[in-house]
Structure 1
Amino acid sequence: MVDKHPEEAVFREFLIAVLLHNEAVADRLGLQPVDVAAAILLEMRGPLAVGAISEELGLPSASTTRLIDRLERAGYARRVRGERDRRTVTVELVEGGMDDYDAACEASRRHLEALGAHYGPEQVPVLLGMFTRVAEAYRSATRELREDAT
Structure 2
Amino acid sequence: MGPKHPDEAVFREFLIAVLLHNEAVADRLGLQPVDVAAAILLETRGPLAVGAISEELGLPSASTTRLIDRLEKAGYVRRVRGERDRRTVTVELVEGGLGDYEAACEASRRHLGAVGAHYGPEHVPLLLDMFTRVTEAYRSATQELRADAT
Normalising by structure 1, report the TM-score: 0.97
- Paired residues, what number? 150
Q: Does 1:56 find its partner at 2:56?
A: yes
CA distance in 2 between counterparts of 1:110 and 1:6 reads 28
TM superposition shift of 1:97: 0.9
1:64-79 pair list within 5 angstroms = 64-79=64-79
The AA in structure 2 aligned to 1:103 is A
Q: Runs of 4 or more off by more than 3 Å in structure 1?
A: 1-4
C-alpha deviation, 1:121, in angstroms: 0.7
Q: In 2, Cα distance between the equivalents of 1:4 and 1:67?
A: 38
The DSSP-based 3-state class of the residue aligned with 2:90 is: strand
Identity %: 89
| Alpha-carbon distance, 1:147 to partner | 0.7
List aligned pairs for 1:134-145, cutoff 5 A.
134-145=134-145
Per-residue deviation at 1:3?
4.8
Give SS of 1:108's match: helix
1:29 alignment partner AA: L
1-side partners of 2:56 and 2:26: how far apart? 19
Distance 1:83 1:31, change over 3 A: same
Deviation at 1:95, TM superposition (A): 1.2
What is the aligned-residue RMSD (CA, Å)?
Answer: 1.0
> Does 1:13 find its partner at 2:13?
yes
Q: Equivalents in 2 of 1:99, 1:133: separation in Å? A: 30
- C-alpha distance 22-2 of structure 1, shift in aligned 2 (>3 A): closer
Aligned pairs for 1:74-93 (under 5 A) are 74-93=74-93
Runs of 5+ unmatched residues, structure 2 = none
Q: Which SS does the other structure have where 1:85 is aligned? A: coil
Tell me the amino acid that sits aligned with residue 44 of structure 1.
T
Structure 1: segments with no counterpart, 5+ residues: none
SS at match of 1:78: strand
* 1:147–1:2 Cα change, 3 Å: closer
User: Is 2:9 the partner of 1:24?
Assistant: no
Inter-CA distance 127–78: structure 2 relative to 1 (3 Å threshold):
same
- 2:122 matched to which residue of 1? 122
TM-score scaled by length of structure 2: 0.97
**Residues 69-103 of structure 1: per-residue CA shift (max 9 Å, x gap):** 11011111111100110000000011111111111
Map residues 39-50 of structure 1 onto 2, 5 A cutoff: 39-50=39-50
